[in-house]
Amino acid sequence: MSFKNLSAPRKVNDLAAEVTSGAVLHNPGQVAMATSDPVKIGVFPFASSSSKVLGASVDAADAVAFLSRDVALVKSGDTVWALLDIIHKAKIEEVARDVKALAARPSGESALVLGWDGSATALTLAKYDVESRQFVVRGTLRSIDVSETETYVVADAGGAGSSAFIRAQRPSRARARARICRSRPSR
């Protein structure tokens, strides 16, 4: 496809504040944008112009993620909130505390929460509710990311500031099936 075939960008909606984070859901194809001060979540479908802007009664919106087209997760400070039924009348409930990072699959269905205490929590959608399953992770995790089929982790690898990059099929089995690339600080 050549660039001359691209159409000009069009304004879909206005959040009237600075966007702090965003998330994409591949199927059915929608994007969420979060703003802080005031906290608003904008949901924008790819194929239609029927966008929706929700006011969320949380302090901040540090990260946003989708579990489905009806359920979004918002990290606000050290807490993750679930916004249920965002298409109709959104209901908010707390799903995790003491959260360091939030990452979700682009296809939805599940998300991974990294806690300040070194634990990790898998968040999944069960009918009309978000279920959490906490598991212990060995070592100190620095960062996480989740793709369609794999989970990526940056962890401390022993000492003197060294770190390990771990790629695993499932977050709870990262130790058993991981390719580890170690890096040491330059001296």
CB atoms within 10 A of CB 95: 21
Buried/exposed code over 5-26 (b: 16+ C-beta within 10 A; e: otherwise): eeeeeeeeeeeebeebbebebe
Each residue's pLDDT expressed in tens, for the chain with a length of 187 residues? 566 676 777 676 777 788 888 888 988 888 888 888 788 888 888 877 688 888 888 888 899 999 998 899 999 999 999 989 888 888 889 999 999 999 988 888 889 998 888 788 899 988 878 999 988 777 777 778 888 888 777 777 666 556 666 666 655 444 433 444 444 555 5
Q: At a CB cut-off of 8 Å and minimum separation 6, what does 159 contact?
A: none
Residue boundaries of the structural domains of the chain: 3-99
Tell me how far CA of residue 106 lies from CA of 42, 87, 112, in angstroms: 17, 19, 12
| CATH 3.90.1530, domain 3-99, yes or no | no
- pTM beyond 0.95, yes or no: no
Q: How many CB atoms lie under 10 A from the CB of residue 46?
A: 11
